Amino acid sequence: MRPKTKSCCSQSLLNALILALTLVFLPSCGADTPQDDSLRIGVALYTQDDTFISALAQSLEQLAQEEESRIGQKITLLISDSRSNQTTQMGQVDRFLARGCDVLCVNIVDRTAAAVIVDKAEAEGVPLIFFNRQPVDEDIQRWNQTFYVGASAQESGALQGQLVLDAWQSDPVRWDRSGDGVLQYVMLEGEPGHQDSLLRTEYTIQAITDGGVEVERLARDTANWNRAQSAARMTHWLEEFGEQIEVILSNNDDMALGAIDALSETGRALEDWPLIVGIDATAPALEAVAAGQLYGTVHNDERGQAQAMLNLSLALYAGEDPGGAVDLEDDHYIWLPYRQVTQDNLSAFRTP
Ligand code: GAL
């Protein structure tokens, strides 16, 4: 079966599940004032149609249920889909506040809108946790009850670059197809202006060149984190550059999978494919690593990020010092580490 078909199914299943959870949870927060001692967390996702974000929301849901039975604190999640529209998200934030949410978790659509959200939360005295999409520090520092949970974009780029460097140096005959000692690559970039797109692109290349390997960029373009857009770009590049492409660098796994879709379409034998790397370690990407299509990826710890958001929410709700519940940097930031994944350590990341 082509990976494309497989992933589309799992993506729509995930979306359906999140939608079901949203429908289950929204009515319980329908009143303007809280009616029980439930911790109400309003969670605005920039879009549900994103593999990594769907997985993070699913983990949040699962962990909230586990935590509820462990500590006996009722937790109600209100999950909304902002559909990549900042105006839609502002309306959702207003509704969460009007419905008496105790904590807001915001996966902001447009980072330049962060200050307005901080001001709204502060006016109502509701602690605010941004996650995954990082506002500028000035906005985070605006109020002492504003936090950011995420992972360092720079670190993920550096780890991806090191993966490529190691592969290139350990098997130059296989990967340096032209034999000229220069690494010819194409770069699939995430959303323009997103920290993860800008810094991953920069630090991946820096890690390779710092390792003493000369690079030549054949092409770059955004595919907005999206598998289908990436497949379209890659099809075009394969026609234009053919076997000149030695390495495909992708800012995330979904776009790496799109490149794999395009290569599969050509019917080219797997041993003649370029080296492909992604970031996230999503379930379909781990399958592609197992199949030898994706050389490696970098694990973006969605479960760890969801757990940190939950621990922080519980501490804030209880009026405790958040520093006792999570590892706080500069009083506002919680950073989760990235880890490299290849066939060598795949079993540590795949759920049986
Ligand atoms: C990145 C992730 C991407 C996409 C993006 C959305 O951290 O690697 O796959 O989910 O966040 O903001």
Contacts of 326 (CB under 8 A, 6+ apart): 308, 311, 312, 315, 334
State the burial class of residue 154 (Cβ atoms within 10 Å of its Cβ: 0-12, 13-18, 19+): middle
Mean pLDDT calculated for residue range 211-237: 98
Calculate how far, in angstroms, residue 107's C-alpha sits from the geometric centre of ligand 1: 10
Q: Would you tell me the crossing angle of helices 227-241 and 253-266 to the nearest 10 degrees? A: 50
Ligand 1 site, residue 132, Cβ cutoff 6 A:
yes
Ligand 1 site, residue 279, Cβ cutoff 6 A:
yes
Q: Specify the ligand 1 atom closest to the Cα of 282.
A: 9
| Least confident window among 10-24, 112-126, 137-151 | 10-24
Mean pLDDT calculated for residue range 119-135: 98
Mean pLDDT calculated for residue range 89-116: 97
Would you place residue 291 in the very low, low, confident or very high pLDDT band (cuts 50, 70, 90)? Answer: very high
Question: Within 13 Å, how many C-alpha atoms sit on residue 184's CB side?
Answer: 14
Tell me: the pLDDT tens digits for 26-43? 433 434 455 578 999 999
Q: Specify the ligand 1 atom closest to the Cα of 194.
A: 12
State the burial class of residue 262 (Cβ atoms within 10 Å of its Cβ: 0-12, 13-18, 19+): buried
Mean pLDDT calculated for residue range 106-132: 98
pLDDT score at 308? 98
**Which residue, 237, 277, 272, 283, is CA-closest to 255?**
277
Ligand 1 site, residue 301, Cβ cutoff 6 A:
no
Ligand 1 site, residue 300, Cβ cutoff 6 A:
yes
Mean pLDDT calculated for residue range 99-116: 97
pLDDT score at 25? 41
Calculate how far, in angstroms, residue 28's C-alpha sits from the geometric centre of ligand 1: 30
Residue-by-residue DSSP string for 177-198: TT-SSEEEEEEEE-STT-HHHH
Ligand 1 site, residue 130, Cβ cutoff 6 A:
no
Instruction: Report how far residue 164's alpha carbon sits from residue 60's, in angstroms, rounded to the nearest whole number.
Output: 32
Would you place residue 14 in the very low, low, confident or very high pLDDT band (cuts 50, 70, 90)? Answer: very low
Residue 96 has pLDDT above 80, yes or no: yes
